[in-house]
Structure 1
Amino acid sequence: MPFANYKFPEGIVDHARKEEIIHRTTEMFVEYFGEDVRPYTMVLVEEVADGGWGRADETLTREKMGLPSKSA
């Protein structure tokens, strides 16, 4: 079963963009593996709380990424 898991900082991806990500990812898997994988393809779009994730031993926040604060 093809599976993709996207994680974004909370509040930067709206519902329409999430749907687009799901559709385009599914189409990519179908392009690579054929139409038979469509019903088994899973795409998970997750929102991660500010400061709830990191990379290279550094906690990432919206501020560190140059994004406006969620309340802005």
Structure 2
Amino acid sequence: MPEVRLSVGSMRCRHCVREVTGWLRDVVGVETITADAKTGTVVLGGTMTVADVLAVFVGSDYAPQVVDAAPVTAT
């Protein structure tokens, strides 16, 4: 399964994790989400695009950076 790993530096508490994961659940293609407030990282699994993932943060106080993104391959 392709993965996208984000660094969300300002995501440092449980409230922030709930907010960010709530947004990401609505992204088309997201199948799994693992978020860690201690490290400020989010790992998404599925067929989502990086552009769709980053779009949910537009206008928010969070500034995610893509750490790693495995390409989606056609099956």
Give TM-score scaled by structure 2 length: 0.33
Greater radius of gyration (CA):
1
Higher-helix-fraction structure = 1
Relative contact order higher in (CA < 8 Å, ≥ 6 apart): 2
Give TM-score scaled by structure 1 length: 0.34
